[in-house]
Amino acid sequence: MAIELKMPALSPTMEEGTLAKWLVKEGDEVKSGDILAEIETDKATMEFEAVDEGTIAKILVAEGTDAVKVGTVIAMIAGEDEDASTVEAPKAAPAAPAPAAAAPVDVPGEGKDVGRAESEAEITKHDAPPAKPRPSDPAIPDGTKMVTTTVREALRDAMAEEMRGDDRVFVMGEEVAEYQGAYKVTQGLLEEFGPARVIDTPITEYGFAGLGTGAAMGGLRPIVEFMTFNFAMQAIDHIINSAAKTNYMSGGQMRCPIVFRGPNGAASRVGAQHSQNYGPWYASVPGLIVIAPYDAADAKGLLKAAIRSEDPVVFLENELMYGKSFDIPDLDDHVLPIGKARIVREGADVTLVSYSIGVGVALEAAEMLAGEGIDAEVIDLRTLRPLDTVTVLESLKKTNRVVVVEEGWPTCSIASEISAVCMEQGFDWLDAPVLRVTNEDVPLPYAANLEKLALVDAARVVAAARKVSYR
């Protein structure tokens, strides 16, 4: 049977081209790999190779023809046992029916009302899979002893407990082993687990982030510590392109259960390159889990959950919080649900939403507001992706006012996202615009006074809460 040679598409966007030159003529024998013709696209001249063997029976489009549509039969090849002289050109195929779907007519001046009524559900619809029952923090049994622990120790205990329970879990990073951690978070781990599972790396973030990601693909459970997340900028390609996307790109067959952890956000007087909150960056990436706890109990319970998760997790700590002490329930296995915010302080008048170190700022502001008779509710998001919008919206329904407190830049921030969610899904409950109280929109300066001016503080939160309360 004769083979039809069709005008090929030679780039992702090509629809037609010029058949510039035939390099074969009727009667020529061709085999796969032979160049048959040159075809010009808008970008380049390309060679068109034979894939099949046979004899060129008919050339149907002459060289020099412009605007030959992709898919047009340009020649016929006779097969091995076929007489080339008897090959016929194909009958013209019926023209494809014109697309019938009528586009909706847009009448000028008649914008669709996006405000209310039956279309509202459609406008705010999220085509995500149906919601599953919401997790909640496990109840702490009555009489459980509370132990005062620093955030630093809580993180170490979380890793140690998970390493005891699962041989696949290991820690790697700069100074994590012999030095006991640049910020002493991995203190004691080398002694207990040995150098095969607590691994000092060279200063090579891109390399060891990739190595850890590959080890996770290969079935291990790496915890990769970045000395700070500022240095993870060198590794962000692996966090996003390799770790976050692989499960999706592989149709769900290749997992990447890894935890990238380390301090994030401004420390103290370390200047612009060492002071940045990457929460919004990572929280914008589908395929990642992003956690940013505030206190020690959440740090422990969420890091344990992160290590057990089948998904890649970015776990953002804060250097200024490492030495702070909190009560932790003395339980064998304190694990918290990922994706669930926590109401840290109940209140009725205004909702302060925050995460990480910002929660402390919000709590301080709530105390100050209480003195003025404003009863603030404080929500700790804890997980930035997936974001627990339900808890925020429930609180909004109660207080009708939201202020977001974020130790980070204002533009494209978590605060921006929370404002958008409140506007899209909670518009009817808002009595005032959502306000963002964040760091100033500048690189963080070194001078003590300027640094203080640049960072979010309780006084600014109080001012914003007053404003949305019209007081």
DSSP annotation string for 66-121: EEEETT-EEEEEE-TTS-GGGPPPPPPPPPPPPP-PPPPP--TT-----SSTTHHH
Rounded Cα gap, residues 451 and 442, in angstroms? 10
274 annotated active-site: yes
To another protein, the closest distance from the beta carbon of 78 in angstroms equals 17
Decide: 292 and 321 in contact? Cβ < 8 Å. no
Candidate ranges 150-158, 215-223, 404-412, 427-435; the one touching another protein (CB under 8 A): 215-223
For another protein, give the closer residue by CB, 38 or 364: 38
For another protein, give the closer residue by CB, 287 or 410: 287
Distances, alpha carbon 301 to alpha carbons 234, 275, 424, 454, in Å: 29, 26, 32, 32
Distances, alpha carbon 75 to alpha carbons 22, 35, 50, 210, in Å: 10, 14, 11, 49
Name the helix (H) or strand (E) containing 299.
Answer: helix 296-308
Instruction: Tell me how crowded residue 419 is: count the other CB atoms within 10 A of its CB.
Output: 18
Site for another protein in 31-70 (CB under 8 A): 32-33, 35, 43-49, 51, 70
Given the residues 161, 174, 238, 274, select the one marked as catalytic: 274
Rounded Cα gap, residues 51 and 34, in angstroms? 8
Given the residues 153, 162, 174, 205, select the one marked as catalytic: 205
To another protein, the closest distance from the beta carbon of 430 in angstroms equals 27
Rounded Cα gap, residues 408 and 439, in angstroms? 5
- Choosing from 180, 228, 242, 469, the residue that interacts with another protein (CB under 8 A) is 242
- Choosing from 149, 150, 180, 246, the residue that interacts with another protein (CB under 8 A) is 246
Candidate ranges 6-14, 175-183, 368-376, 435-443; the one touching another protein (CB under 8 A): 6-14
Site for another protein in 330-369 (CB under 8 A): 337-339
Q: What does the DSSP 8-state code read for residue 28?
A: -
- Choosing from 54, 173, 181, 210, the residue that interacts with another protein (CB under 8 A) is 210
For another protein, give the closer residue by CB, 213 or 399: 213
Site for another protein in 258-297 (CB under 8 A): 286-287, 289
To another protein, the closest distance from the beta carbon of 115 in angstroms equals 28
To another protein, the closest distance from the beta carbon of 146 in angstroms equals 27
**Tokens linked to 317:** 């700590």
What is the size of the binding site for another protein (CB under 8 A)? 72
Site for another protein in 105-134 (CB under 8 A): 127-129, 132
**With binding defined as CB under 8 A, does residue 465 bind another protein?**
no
Residue recorded with tokens 């070194």: 446
To another protein, the closest distance from the beta carbon of 246 in angstroms equals 7
Decide: 445 and 275 in contact? Cβ < 8 Å. no
Site for another protein in 133-162 (CB under 8 A): 135
To another protein, the closest distance from the beta carbon of 428 in angstroms equals 27
To another protein, the closest distance from the beta carbon of 216 in angstroms equals 7
Could you tell me the sign of the dihedral formed by the alpha carbons of 300, 302, 303, 309, in that order? positive
334 annotated active-site: no
CB neighbour burial string for 96-114, b if at least 16 within 10 angstroms, e if fewer: eeeeeeeeeeeeeeeeeee
Q: Provide the mask over 295-314, with x wherever binding to another protein is found by CB under 8 A and - wherever it is not.
A: --------------xxx---
Side chain identity at 25, as an amino acid letter?
A: K
- Choosing from 60, 61, 89, 220, the residue that interacts with another protein (CB under 8 A) is 220
User: Shortest CA distance to 383 belongs to which of 135, 159, 149?
Assistant: 135
**Residues with a known catalytic role:** 205, 274
